[in-house]
Amino acid sequence: MADMTEGRLAGRIALITGASRGLGAAIAEKFAMEGAHVILVARTQGGLEETDDRVRAAGGQATLLPLDLVKFDEIDRMAAAVAQRFGRLDILVGNAATLPPLTPVGHLSPKDWQATMDLNVTANWRLLRAFDPGLRRSESGRVIMVTSGMAMEASAYWAAYAASKAALETLVASYAKEIGFTKVRANLLDPGAMRTGMRATAFPGEDPNSLRPPEAVAPVAVSLAEAACTLHGQVARAYG
């Protein structure tokens, strides 16, 4: 078992959205192994408890916050609760995302478009807005927002998802320019193709064993989260 007092994230408070499975769960476990206290956010209590089991098995500690991020006012209440308990937030990982039906632009329903923008863009803006004061109170606040290579590609049928990730990248780039004079650093993480449920939905015929597991990407998130990281306003690509 790792020594929690000597890890690269020892003593740091990290909030991770979409932490019930996939990359979010892998990041939570790796952060815990590196000494962070992880705040796990997702809609499903059962999924959070499974991640909590992994965190505890790694010798770490977690706080579980079941929350639907598209209930935007709940994000403000969550930030207030974190501030009251911990006084600050050292690391914010915006990982939660949704993949709408892959369909031509003319066939995409307004409901699916709005749901994609609500979670992939607006919820992350609300997170930045709500936790900005707590991140500034940290000695080295770090923001990591998960993006996709689709943000830079014009691929048929991917318009809603790609547009949401492109908007997220611009949002984070703008925020990074605003906080350049502070100790907060904000970056994007492009994990590339991973063995996840979302990937299987998008590419049902693909052999999952040909893809990296999310655990292979988690160390890159640790590098972006540690106090020693100087990268700012960039897209860190966890591949090639």
Give me the active site residues, please: 161
Looking from the CA of 208 toward its CB, the CA atoms found within 13 Å total 11
From first CA to last CA, the distance across the chain in angstroms is 31
Tokens of 105: 């632009």
Question: Helices in 92-137 by DSSP H: which ranges?
Answer: 110-117, 123-137
Tokens of 109: 């329903």
Rounded-to-integer distance, Cα 12 and Cα 36, Å: 5
Rounded-to-integer distance, Cα 141 and Cα 159, Å: 33
Output DSSP code: residue 179: T
Q: What does the CA dihedral 230, 38, 127, 70 come to, rounded to 10 degrees?
A: 140
Tokens of 124: 């992350």
Place of tokens 């770490």: 60
CB 123, CB 117: distance < 8 Å: no
